[in-house]
Structure 1
């Protein structure tokens, strides 16, 4: 088994479901010990009231070949995050990879409603979930990460710098949240460079998360059936694809070449050669520009 991350320790903050879960799993498949955090446990659901749990994620990490450790953490509570980092230090003495994937605002934002008509209280809560959680986590974890050279910070967002610069995300608070995370990676990259560490932002394409599959009434096994409702779903990707992208970055001895950049799963697939679960290499952002925005019929030929 190819385990380039054996002996490495990762913290995936926000690993309960979606991209975070599969980032944790794919880091585990590469041999890493992965601390998977989130608010939902088998005994205590979060405000999202979803069935996925951090224990399940940790079990998937271990089944993939790594060591999965589930820790319930609310990343809006600094002391809980500090306690988490202290535990990682006590148990492992190192932190090699930090993935900030905390979100938890699905269902809170509204599309096509201008700022002045939207709920200010809800909007500010979205920003706290999307931005404050990442800052709190990095503030606590970076001193441990920079103890050894070669550390990697991955900020997970929606959209690249180029894409978000030209595209309004149809919600003031969503737009601001996802764009802010790009800047978090850029700023951390500047501060970490002197310590031999790297920070990047990464985005999946059209992600087949648990909630997205439910939205279309399909499963990962029959996801193509959703194209009857939304033909452009043909370019969608499983969460494992961005998970493999992060694992490839973490295993790259020359990962510093990406410092401060915003990256996509499709872009990195072309560099590192990994594929999605079905063996394809979907490139959502190129497809979006050349097919979706151009008004062409949905056709993923040449794009996956």
Structure 2
């Protein structure tokens, strides 16, 4: 990427990097991903490489689908699909002005609104920013 003077690095994180969520180890891990993204962005911006930390909402992974079988509190209908996260990354990759986002924390649901796409079922997932980030 440095040699070609362009590129996109997306590190997946979550709101636990900003405030307490689950446990200490989880929060430290997510905060580290966010800090690493910010520092990488600082070092790679001069080479045209964009680095972001991406916060999906709750994602309906195989593990969450399995958990929902036993835990009625897990609502798969309000979750993002893994493909939705991929659509976010694809939209960023196609954006020729993506360098303006370098070093930022981006939220999948907000990127969908910005770039005008939906999840695979046509839904527009809600941003978890108000629930998990702002105190």
Please report the TM-score for the alignment, with normalisation by the length of structure 2: 0.88
Distance between the aligned counterparts of 1:204 and 1:149, measured in 2? Answer: 28
* Counterpart among 64, 68, 73 of residue 230 in structure 1: 73
The residue aligned with 2:52 is: 200
Match of 1:216 in 2: 68
- Cα distance, 1:217 vs structure 2: 2.0
Q: 8 Å contact 2:52–2:106 — kept in the other structure?
A: yes
After superposition, the Cα gap between the structure-2 partners of 1:284 and 1:271, relative to the gap in structure 1 and judged at 3 Å, is closer
Taking the aligned partners of 2:22 and 2:58, their CA distance within structure 1 comes to: 16
Larger radius of gyration: 1
Match of 2:43 among 173, 187, 191: 191
The residue number in structure 2 matching 1:301 is none
Cα RMSD (Å) of the superposition?
2.1
Shift of 1:233: 4.8
Cα separation, 1, equivalents of 2:38 and 2:131: 24
Contact map agreement 2:57 2:109 (CA 8 A) in 1: yes
Q: By how many angstroms is 1:184 displaced? A: 0.8
Return the offset for 1:271: 0.6
Paired residue for 1:134?
none
In structure 1, distance between residues paired with 2:55 and 2:124: 15
**Match of residue 2 from structure 2:** 146
**1:196 and 1:277 mapped to 2: Cα distance?**
31
Q: Kindly tell me the number of residue pairs found equivalent between the two proteins.
A: 133
CA–CA distance in 2 between the matches of 1:231 and 1:175? 21
- 2:30: which partner in 1? 178
Measure, in 1, the Cα distance between the counterparts of 2:103 and 2:124.
Answer: 24
